[in-house]
Amino acid sequence: MLRVKVEVVKRFSLGVHLLLVVILVGFFAFPFYWILVSSFKPTEELIRAKPTFIPETFTLAHYRNLLRVSEYPSYLRNSTVVGLLTAALSTFLAFLSGYSIYRCEYPGKRIISTFVISSYAVPTTLLTVPLYSLFARAGLINSLWSLVLVNVTLTSPLGVWLLKAFLSSVPKEVEEAAMIDGASRLRIMFQIAFPLIFPGVAAVAMFSFVTSWTEFLFANIFIMNEFQKTLPVGIARFITQYNVDWGLLMAGAVLTSLPPVLLFAFFGKSFIRGLTSGATKY
């Protein structure tokens, strides 16, 4: 009798957990579903007072207008350039900095490590005026390089911190053996340490790319040329004072979210492994 009661309690607990998971997933997934189905609705159905959860008529007009009439292709190209350059530079600098701080011995490296992490104590909004003045003097306003430099500055410190756990997990005896065999420090870094901490490197690259892909504040301030704007700023321009083109807005949101979704679909395991390993090995 007692076993039956325990089994009933276990099943009831499992059912409650499954119900909570379904509710939670539905809560977060419904906005994405609504954006997706709305992008296929005709304008008259999209602005109707009574919403429809399944489109009565499917149309690709919003996607055609987005790609042919609007400046979305330019926004997409600019965001891709900024995202790839940011991911490459941030990952490269984070790897070099992390290896220097956590694998090499020299005076003051603890102070440098503390300074790198403490850089996040400064709100990013406080950097807008000095950075604008600096980039204006350097002639980088209306240049995608200004966004790349800003995004690298924002993402590389966290990348250094993420790589600390992975670098600490690599036995120093491996590097010492390579040194005895005559390998240089650069060869040890890129041929021995880099492959061993690749999950952490992948996590840093994905974090840097997604951060630059969604960055709005600096992209809105430093870029004034219409053809140089990135996706977050460009899509926001679909909302005007007297009119909102909901079809273009929904279609743009769907296409803009595709690269991060595909990125996580193919490399999400490496990203999660990098974050969880960094948390447990710290």
Over residues 46-61, the pLDDT tens digits come to 888 888 888 888 889 8
pLDDT of res. 84: 95
- State residue 133's pLDDT score: 92
CA separation for the pair 117, 282 (Å, rounded) = 14
User: pLDDT, tens digit, for every residue of 228-245?
Assistant: 999 999 988 888 767 788
Confidence of residue 282 (pLDDT cuts 50, 70, 90): very low
- Over its C-alpha atoms, the chain yields an Rg (Å, rounded) of 24
Pick the closest to residue 140 from 242, 67, 228 (CA basis): 228
DSSP 52-105: -SS-SS---HHHHHHHHTSSHHHHHHHHHHHHHHHHHHHHHHHHHHHHHHHHS-
Average pLDDT over residues 201-214: 90
Residue 279 pLDDT exceeds 50: no
DSSP state of 69: T
- Show the domains of the chain with their CATH numbers: 70-237 (1.10.3720.10)
For the cut 80, the answer to whether the pLDDT of residue 275 exceeds it is no
pLDDT digits (tens, 9 = 90+) for 103-114: 877 787 788 877
Q: For the chain, what percentages of helix, strand and coil (3-state, to nearest 5) are there?
A: 80, 0, 20
Residue 195: pLDDT band (50, 70, 90) is confident
CA distance 115 to 117: 6
d(CA 281, CA 166): 8
127-163: pLDDT as tens digits: 889 999 999 999 999 999 999 999 999 899 888 888 8
How much is the mean pLDDT over the chain? Answer: 84
Residue type, 134: L
Contact 124, 154 (CB under 8 A): yes
Is residue 10 predicted with pLDDT exceeding 80? Answer: no
Q: Return the number of other C-beta atoms located less than 10 Å from residue 205's C-beta.
A: 26
Q: Model-level pTM?
A: 0.82
Position 272 scores a pLDDT of 65
Residue closest to 250 by CA, chosen among 58, 45, 40, 74? 40
Which neighbouring-strand residues pair with 239? 244
